[in-house]
A = this chain, B = another copy of it.
Amino acid sequence: MAKPDTFSPALLGVALESDTAKPAYQQLYEQLRDLILSGRLASGARLPSTRSFSKELGLSRTTLITAYDQLASEGYLEARRGAGIFVAQFSPEHLMLVNSAAAPAPPKPAPPQGRPARSIPFSIRATSPADFPHAEWARLLQKTWRGPIASHFGEPHVEGDANLKAAIADHLRTWRGISCTPDQVLITSGSGESIDLITRVLCAPGDQVWLENPGYVPMRRKIVEKGLAPVYVPVDREGLMVARGVELAKSARMAIATPPRQFPLGMTMSLARRLDFLDWARRAGAWIVEDDYDSEFRYEGRPLAALMSMDETDRVLYLGSFSKVMFKSLRLGYLVVPPGLATRFHQVHDEAGPQASSVAQPALAEFITSGQFAAHIRRMRRLYARRRGFLLDQLVETCNGLLTPQPANSGMHIVVSLDEALRARHCDAEICARLREGGVEAQSLSGFYADGTEAGEGLLLGFSGFEEAELEAAVGAMAGMLGELAPEPRALSQAAPGSPRSRG
């Protein structure tokens, strides 16, 4: 091997800045690394001894040793016993490709973020930050984190806080008429994980699954992603048309539906229809997944009993969520399974790795058992009822008959149908696009129908997350834009939502 050259740090431009928070050894490490990676400090070059180098730069020897150690441990330098420290061997083409990123590159401009952090009317499913009981929630988080508790550090990660499971079972008994033990409850990070588990345990690829049409789009996407075959079953005023589902796919493996409040149209499944639905499941040996996403917000009467509460044959699984009552980004939901399936679900959950964060689970358990959860629901129900009434009044007063609210007594949004004068000129998606340009958010009903099926038209207007002044301003802006879109408002006939219009 050729006699290695030593090099002079000064010659190579090594110089430390004193007006930086970065420690000297770090600066030295980064500069030497850059020199090596750029090829200016060649493979095989001998480094000055720490003693002479430290003198030359006016640094402590410890600084030099720390930097050399780091470089050696990362493979840039090699110590040869008795001979000194050398730059390690690299092939030259390597050195062209890489470079140190330790010296921060100038920050790039931020890419545009697609969506605002704050909802604008009429976003659906928005919650009301100002009305959340922050102080109490903060107190519970602190209280439950004062000392180690099993569910935070449970390792292997257990699939949910025991107190939370018990609190959910109690809540379901009182509010939804469901009688279940805590062992039937699985805590998940939301309906996505719940559906993952359900399909893992109960379905095989290619199985047919009834889905409501219109319905929740991410659910549809999920079922397709899982390799299952969706069967789109229409809904009418009584909810999912069970007889139609039987015609389309009598032997489906599963049906996913929203009996307490159809999403997005808002009707409650009638008792007769529920009985038909359970009857089909029993005869077909099929499973029903009851997706109960917001039935807490019912403005007349008490919440309706869940379908699961009427099921004696253990064919119903129940999906619940805290997104609506608490806040969406809590990312906690639950799944209730029939007693005979509990052990299998826990096993599969454990194998797959539970996804729900433990951070808020003990606090949420105490929030529920102390009665604050129920109190919060009642408060929000009153608030949302007022906002809903206000929005309905505003629509009637301001929109000149162009929009007709459809009956529903629950939920966080209303569905309005479009007047002939509008429908003749524009589809609902075009209208939403125009409104969005004008700063008003509305969702087109047709967007909730599966591709290739006959789609009803209308708008979904969320009210839950907005104060009356915001709603009033948004209705005014919307009325102006709709007036331009339908220059001769006649309000002759008002089509009901669900009136079909074909979409590709």
Contacts and interface: CB of A to CB of B under 8 A. Distances in A.
A62 interface: no
Nearest to A344: B111
Contacts of A389: none
Interface in A177-231: 177-179, 181-183, 189-190, 192, 218
Contact of A189 (B132, B157, B355): B355
B179 A108 contact: no
Interface string A316-343: 0000000000011111100000010011
Nearest to A93: B279
A302 B112 CA distance: 36
Contact of A108 (B76, B177, B270, B339): B339
Contacts of A118: 150, 154-155
A179 B132 contact: no
B304 A74 contact: yes
Contact of A153 (B88, B132, B135, B355): B132
A311 B108 contact: no
Interface string A251-263: 0000000000000
A357 to B, nearest CB: 4
A350 interface: yes
A285 interface: no
Given A114-B350, A148-B130, A155 B94 contact: no
A31 interface: no
Nearest to A441: B156
Contacts of A417: none
Closest 8 CB pairs of A and B: A75-B271, A329-B358, A129-B148, A138-B145, A129-B153, A142-B142, A331-B357, A111-B343
Interface of A: 30, 33, 37, 69-70, 73-76, 88-91, 93-94, 97-105, 107-108, 110-119, 123, 125-127, 129-130, 132, 134-135, 137-139, 141-143, 145-148, 150-158, 173, 177-179, 181-183, 189-190, 192, 218, 270-272, 275-276, 278-279, 282, 300-302, 304-305, 308-313, 327-332, 339, 342-343, 346-347, 350, 353-360, 465
24 contacts: A90-B275, A94-B272, A97-B282, A99-B310, A100-B310, A102-B177, A104-B173, A110-B182, A111-B343, A134-B146, A137-B145, A138-B141, A141-B141, A152-B327, A155-B465, A157-B328, A192-B355, A218-B353, A329-B358, A329-B359, A355-B355, A356-B357, A357-B360, A359-B359
